[in-house]
Amino acid sequence: MDEIIRVYGASWCPDCRRAKRFLGDQRVSFEWHDIEVDPDGVRIVQQRNNGNNIIPTIVFPDGSHLSEPSNEELAEKMGLERTATMHVYDLIVVGGGPAGLTTSIYAARENLQTLVIDSKGLGGQAGVTERLDNYPGFPDGIGGAELADRIVLQAQRYGVEMLQAVSVTSVTSDREEVDVETATGDHYHARAALVATGSSYRRTGAPGEDDLIGAGIHFCATCDGPFYKGASELVVLGGGNSGLEEGLFLTQFVDRVTIVQRGDRLTANKLLQDKVAMTPEMDVLLNREVVEFKPKDDGSGKLGAIVLKDRESGELEEIHPAGAFVFIGLDPNTGFVKGSVDLDDRELILTDMGLQSSMPGVFAAGDVRSGSTKQLASAVGEGAAAAIGIRMYLEAQDAKPMHMMEAG
Ligand SMILES: Cc1cc2nc3c(=O)[nH]c(=O)nc-3n(C[C@H](O)[C@H](O)[C@H](O)COP(=O)(O)OP(=O)(O)OC[C@H]3O[C@@H](n4cnc5c(N)ncnc54)[C@H](O)[C@@H]3O)c2cc1C
């Protein structure tokens, strides 16, 4: 029997993209069959759906299938734990990326009953990163999925309870207890909580992008720029401060860096624009929109070409850089705490020196925190620092006389 999940669909189908992203987020391997180019795929889809073309149709290793499943149906089929065993914990960690998991390991080792809740798969962005070359302790680098699995195993070893595919929708506190509500309608209570929900890099949304992330499309020049040492050209999408800064950084690895900007002018500050203008290795293309990312046709699954549309003339042009770096903005995952904790002007969580937010008992660490560096090693470090801040907070709470606890 087949050991792999097969997803049958088409590139234009949003539900297919959602299902593929869900499986990818859970770090589940699957085989993609585009029925528009695979006649055998059409036959299988029709066979499974009484002659109808229903996509996505997902065939599982046990021979069963789901047609157009919701994420909840997929989670159930894959046996993901979505309800916790208890309702009250010492600590609830929202976000099972490197920061949150590190805090959970520290807390559980100190015998705090700890629950981690993640809206996608455990491991966060690190878990879906192809290769990590700058994380200390791994001289040959390490695959992101392998590192994530190791951290999860370590958390399991200390008895951390973990839920996946469960979004947290609100975190509130009445000074004595934190209430965490999930999209499944459950409420969990804890003496303290950590928000470590990271930030999402904005994507262009162009066809082909999802499949080529980590395989030619990147969001971090410090992390992935060195992979391109000696290549002839890289493209940076985005003409704001980050795009230009990272583009200048990338010139040390390649002969040419081309900034592609959707609008008719760069939006970075004047200083950066002047620097770019004075750097002979840099080019700027204005008024260009990405229409498609194409894979190489050698079957390697790597980025082969970017199709750009000139927004003035409507003309299409194909460029063939070794890689593309996307810097079109960052969305902190803080929507569910907006209005309840203080955020900075970029909507990142403001904390004090002990990483406590403006809400008593609620801490923040990693990429979601204002002032964070968006690096794995820092996220892990902040996770450890938050655990120590939480311990001190809980000790202070325990030391409070009863009348003060009641007064809040
Ligand atoms: C493609 C890519 C490559 C990278 N390469 C490197 C590298 O080479 N070296 C390096 O140092 N750094 C790298 N980084 C950055 C590094 O991965 C991050 O700095 C690090 O993962 C941040 O950890 P975190 O725990 O703060 O957040 P994340 O890893 O983002 O984890 C946050 C978690 O919170 C969950 N979540 C979000 N919202 C909710 C919610 N409402 N309810 C429940 N859970 C929620 C998410 O599903 C996610 O699992 C890379 C990032 C990307 C995207």
pLDDT tens, the chain, 408 aa long: 467 899 999 877 878 878 887 888 787 888 889 888 888 999 999 999 988 889 999 999 999 999 999 888 898 898 888 899 999 999 999 999 999 999 999 999 999 999 999 998 889 988 877 788 899 999 999 988 899 999 999 999 999 999 998 999 999 998 789 999 999 999 999 999 999 999 988 999 999 998 888 789 998 888 888 889 999 999 999 999 889 999 999 999 999 999 999 999 999 999 999 999 999 999 999 999 999 999 998 877 889 999 999 999 999 999 999 999 999 988 999 999 999 999 999 999 999 999 999 999 999 999 999 999 989 999 999 999 999 999 999 999 888 765 554 444
With b for 16 or more beta-carbon neighbours within 10 A and e for fewer, the 180-196 pattern comes to: bbbebebebebbbbbbb
- pLDDT, residue 19, reads 87
Single out the residue of 308, 328, 304, 329 nearest to residue 317, CA to CA.
308
| Ligand 1 probe mutation, 202, 373, 376, 382, most atoms within 8 A of CB | 376
How do strand 142-143 and strand 131-132 relate by DSSP bridges?
A: antiparallel
Residue with tokens 């809400």: 359
* Residues facing residue 201 across a β-bridge: 330
Supply the pLDDT for residue 183: 92
Q: Which of 26, 80, 140, 223 to mutate to test the pocket of ligand 1 (most atoms within 8 A of CB)?
A: 223
User: Which residue has the CA at smallest separation from atom 15 of ligand 1?
Assistant: 375
How far from 299 is each of 251, 327, 356, CA to CA, in Å? 29, 27, 49
Please say whether the dihedral angle defined by the alpha carbons of residues 137, 125, 368 and 250, taken in this order, is positive or negative.
positive
Instruction: Give the pLDDT score at 82.
Output: 87
CA distance 292 to 303: 11
Instruction: Determine if the peptide bond prior to 295 is cis (ω within 30°).
Output: no
Atom of ligand 1 nearest to the CA of 374: 19
- Count Cα neighbours of 29 within 13 Å in the Cβ-side half-sphere: 5
Residue 214: the pLDDT is 79
Tokens 């999930």, residue located: 182
- How far, in Å, CA of 142 to CA of 154, rounded? 17
Atom of ligand 1 nearest to the CA of 118: 44
Q: In angstroms, what CA-CA distances link 360 with 114, 174, 304, 365, 390?
A: 18, 8, 50, 15, 11
- Residue to mutate, 135, 220, 340, ligand 1, most ligand atoms under 8 Å from C-beta: 220
Query: What are the helix (H) ranges across 70-225?
Result: 71-77, 98-109, 124-127, 144-157, 209-212, 221-224
DSSP H helical ranges for 57-143: 71-77, 98-109, 124-127
Task: Measure Cα distances from 273 to 267, 277, 306 in Å.
Answer: 9, 6, 24
